[in-house]
């Protein structure tokens, strides 16, 4: 069964902390994505990657960075967490760019 | 501006009461329209892809249809296990540029026994 695994289900951090959200997929997919999901705003794309070492900004990249050193792993980094980054973060992967995304279960991040 | 709007925001049905969810979109060119199901505390799960007006896809009690301006997700004789948030996403065609997905905010469906 295909799987996208996010390292933490719930995370509580302090303002100003550096935060790492990890995502691993076992489907040998080239494409990986980070979204955040907020009530009333839907899913918004933060960053995506079509290949190892490659990354592209999404619609709301400010305050975030990413790392993709290996094909199966895509990390989202909050350089200095702020309260407005409290959200549900969803990682996804796909075989063909934007077709049929497989999502992880999400990380609910609270920044206090 | 490219936009995806889902209606209603929430829908409560009795078991067996058929209904439809709507996804209307305004994009310059459509590459594909996707339906996802999201259960509480989980990530979205892919249901269907539709590419052109007139296309239909079916899976169990769900049927997705597409016109040039909107898509419908028809739910026939729903069961309580169909309760979830249903998300619609549109991939616009920017003529070779990155064709990202635009998600709607979803319809929260509750099916009561």
CATH of the domain at A56: 2.60.40.10
Of the residues B39, B44, B49, B93, the best mutation for testing chain A's interface (the one with the most A CB atoms within 10 Å of its CB) is: B44
User: What is the model's pLDDT at position B28?
Assistant: 80
Where in the sequence is the domain holding A86, given as residue range(s)? 4-8+16-99
pLDDT at residue number A1: 66
HEC readout, A44-80: EEEEEECCCCCCEECCCCCCEEEEEEECCEEEEEECC
Q: Quick check: is A91 in a domain?
A: yes
* B77/A contact by beta carbon, under 8 A: no
Domain span at B42 = 3-112
Searching chain A, which residue's CA lies closest to the CA of residue B93? A98
Task: Find which of B33, B41, B43 to mutate to test the A interface (most A CBs within 10 Å of its CB).
Answer: B43
* pLDDT tens digits, one per residue of B9-47: 999 999 999 999 999 999 888 889 999 999 999 999 999
For chain A, percent of residues with pLDDT exceeding 70: 98
Residue A2 pLDDT exceeds 90? no
- Which pair of structure tokens corresponds to residue A86? 């409290």
Measured CA to CA, the distance from residue B38 to residue B85 in angstroms comes to 5
Q: What is the mean pLDDT of chain A?
A: 94
- Phi, psi (rounded to 5 degrees) for B111: -110, 120
Checking if the pLDDT of A25 tops 60, the result is yes
Q: Is residue A68 less than 8 Å (CB to CB) from chain B?
A: no
Per residue in B65-112, pLDDT (tens digit) is 999 999 999 999 999 999 999 999 999 877 655 668 899 999 999 999
pLDDT tops 60 at residue A59: yes
**SS3 call for B81:** helix
> B37-46 burial, b if ≥16 CB within 10 A, otherwise e?
bbeeeebbeb
Q: Report chain A residues whose CB lies below 8 A from the CB of B42.
A: 105-106
Residue B97 belongs to domain with CATH number = 2.60.40.10
Number of structural domains (chain A) is 1
Would you say residue A88 has pLDDT above 80?
Answer: yes
The tally of domains found in chain B comes to 1
**Distance between CA B57 and CA B72 in Å, rounded?**
11
CB atoms within 10 A of CB A82: 13
- State the number of CA atoms in the 13 A half-sphere of B57 facing the CB: 16
Collapsing DSSP to helix, strand or coil, B46 comes out as strand
């Amino acid at each position: 069964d295909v799987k996208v695994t996010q390292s933490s289900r719930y995370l509580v951090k302090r303002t100003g902390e550096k935060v790492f959200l990890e995502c691993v997929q076992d489907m040998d997919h080239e494409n990986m994505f980070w979204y955040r999901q907020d009530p009333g705003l839907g899913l918004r794309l933060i960053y995506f990657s079509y290949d190892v070492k490659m990354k592209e900004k999404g619609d709301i990249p400010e305050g975030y960075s990413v790392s993709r050193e290996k094909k199966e792993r895509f990390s989202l980094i909050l350089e200095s967490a702020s309260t407005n980054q409290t959200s549900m973060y969803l990682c996804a992967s796909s075989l063909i760019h934007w077709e049929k995304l497989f999502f992880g279960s999400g990380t609910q991040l609270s920044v206090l | 501006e490219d936009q995806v709007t889902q209606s209603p925001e929430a829908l409560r049905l009795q078991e067996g009461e058929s209904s439809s969810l709507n996804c209307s979109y305004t994009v310059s060119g459509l590459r594909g329209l996707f339906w996802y199901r999201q259960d509480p505390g989980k990530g979205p799960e892919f249901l269907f892809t539709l590419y052109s007006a007139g296309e239909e896809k079916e899976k169990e009690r769900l049927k997705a249809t597409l016109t040039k301006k909107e898509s419908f997700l028809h739910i026939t004789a729903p069961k309580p296990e169909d309760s979830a948030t249903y998300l619609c996403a549109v991939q616009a065609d920017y003529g070779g540029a990155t064709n990202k997905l635009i998600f709607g905010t979803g319809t929260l469906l509750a099916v009561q026994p």
